[in-house]
Structure 1
Amino acid sequence: MEIRGVIFDLDGVLCHTDHYHYLAWKALADRLGLPFDERVNDRLRGVSRMDSLEIVLSLGEKQFTQAEKEQMAEEKNRRYRSYLAKMGPEALAPGAVDVLRDLKAQGWKLAVGSSSKNAPLILERTGLEGYFDTVADGSQITRSKPDPEVFLLAARKLNLCPSECIVVEDAVAGIQAAKAGGFFAVGIGDAANAPGADASISGLKEIPILCKKFRMPL
């Protein structure tokens, strides 16, 4: 197998904004009188905003119109973005910049494949935008993980086939998406032991080591 590109999920892999998501969803749930906690929040990992909202609303019995749901999703996102506006490089995962710099220097094509529509803001706030050849995010797709659409889009934008790309994911839904798209799936964090993962790593610094097992990009 010839691997020429690496596609990274963003939140939970290169940076950590989980707590911001939790605070934003909890604020909404508290307003609605719903019992939201960290366990429920874990169910939202790698899931689109509207699908996450459905999970949150399933904690109660009240029914809402589609317009009301869209307003709630926007309310959550406004609060989440207010937290992101204050974040900086301190939110980066250990070794993220060194790993990206190393891979880029070696000639690997790099992309972000994230279901988040806030990916551009996160990349800007953390200073990572200059390390990637392309970004595929939630504003460019219609189907979220475990559908492989975002990874397939990232591969197309890199001008690579799925079989030429490694996908690094921290969510089970992301691993499922990578496998469904024909990618080499690498699990990290919560997805380190995900069923179907082709490899698992304990930290980003293992990515260059893993890449060296494959033929170097041309």
Structure 2
Amino acid sequence: MKLEAVIFDLDGVITDTAHLHFQAWRQVACEIGIEIDETFNNTLKGISRGESLRRILHFGGCEAAFTQPQRDALASRKNGIYVDSLSQLTAQSILPGIHELLLELRERQIPTGLASVSLNAPTILNMLGIAELFTFCADAGRITHSKPDPEIFLAACDGLGVSAQRCIGIEDAQAGIDAINACGMHSIGIGAGLQHAGLRLTSTDQLTWPCLSAFWQHAQ
């Protein structure tokens, strides 16, 4: 069975903006009297902005103290801080091995998709200078459920016109691995501590075409 597409998560796979998210969330949390650290920030990996805010408010013991309009305002403020920080990104911010892999996939005419719940994903790809290397980017603004629901990965498959069962999905968060597996896609996890990935690698520089090809052949 031929590999029809490779679908990537963004943060932690293509580039690492976790520190930018953390700085933005920490500033907003501090303004409402909640202190968060990087350990807590790791629990926000791979989930939506709204759910991240809910967890922060719960962590601070004040989840019931904020109305939905107030939550929306906090989420919007966080996003504004984060978007301003994206100006720091350049081609040098692409994680090791990713640019080479994207070029190899294009040369082999294997479509590539992006499945990120970040509404800023198109901006980030443009800042990195690799937007043209993606065949299709799923629009996170059109989905209802965040990861671990498979909706964003299924949206990427629909946009590419491929079957999930004939794709590889690449993630660095457990919620993302669960989402990939839930739609029947073959999963590759990047980083320690991930469970149930079809293949787990320690870093993105191991994501080479020979690695993906061998994994695909073994999975058949």
Which TM bucket (shorter chain)? over 0.9
Which residue number in structure 2 is paired with residue 212 of structure 1? 213
Paired with 1:132 and 1:81, the residues of 2 have a C-alpha distance of 21
After TM superposition, give the deviation of residue 177 of structure 1 in Å. 0.3
Q: Is the 8 A contact 1:167 1:186 kept in 2?
A: yes
Q: Is the 8 A contact 2:98 2:207 kept in 1?
A: no
After TM superposition, give the deviation of residue 209 of structure 1 in Å. 1.6
Deviations 1:101-125 (A, max 9, x none): 0111012111111011000010010
After TM superposition, give the deviation of residue 165 of structure 1 in Å. 0.5
Paired with 2:189 and 2:88, the residues of 1 have a C-alpha distance of 29
Q: Which moved more, 1:155-164 or 1:1-10?
A: 1-10
Instruction: Give the aligned length.
Output: 213
Residue identity opposite 1:51 in structure 2: E
Residue identity opposite 1:36 in structure 2: I
Deviations 1:11-49 (A, max 9, x none): 110101111000000001111111200111001000000
Which residue number in structure 1 is paired with residue 96 of structure 2? 94
Which residue number in structure 2 is paired with residue 166 of structure 1? 168
Which residue number in structure 1 is paired with residue 44 of structure 2? 44
Deviations 1:52-89 (A, max 9, x none): 00011112233100000000000000000000133211
After TM superposition, give the deviation of residue 5 of structure 1 in Å. 0.7
2:110 aligned with 1:135, yes or no? Answer: no
Deviations 1:148-188 (A, max 9, x none): 00100101111110001000000000000001111101000
Residue identity opposite 1:206 in structure 2: L
Q: Is the 8 A contact 1:35 1:59 kept in 2?
A: no
Task: Using structure 1 for the length normalisation, give the TM-score.
Answer: 0.93
Paired with 2:17 and 2:176, the residues of 1 have a C-alpha distance of 17
**Aligned partner (choices 82, 85, 93) of residue 83 of structure 1:** 85
Q: Is the 8 A contact 2:86 2:124 kept in 1?
A: yes
Task: Using structure 2 for the length normalisation, give the TM-score.
Answer: 0.92
When the two chains are superposed, the root-mean-square deviation of aligned CA atoms in Å is: 1.3
Deviations 1:118-148 (A, max 9, x none): 0001001001101011001422211110000
Paired with 2:87 and 2:144, the residues of 1 have a C-alpha distance of 26
- Report matched runs for 1:147-158 at 5 Å: 147-158=149-160
Paired with 1:129 and 1:206, the residues of 2 have a C-alpha distance of 19
For structure 2, the 5+ residue unaligned runs are none
For structure 1, the 5+ residue unaligned runs are none
Q: Which runs of 4 or more aligned residues in structure 1 lie more than 6 Å from their structure 2 counterparts after TM superposition?
A: none
Q: Is the 8 A contact 2:114 2:136 kept in 1?
A: yes
Paired with 1:159 and 1:81, the residues of 2 have a C-alpha distance of 31
Higher helix proportion: 2
Question: SS state of the match for residue 189, structure 2?
Answer: strand
Paired with 1:60 and 1:95, the residues of 2 have a C-alpha distance of 39
Q: Is the 8 A contact 1:148 1:178 kept in 2?
A: yes
Paired with 2:88 and 2:15, the residues of 1 have a C-alpha distance of 14
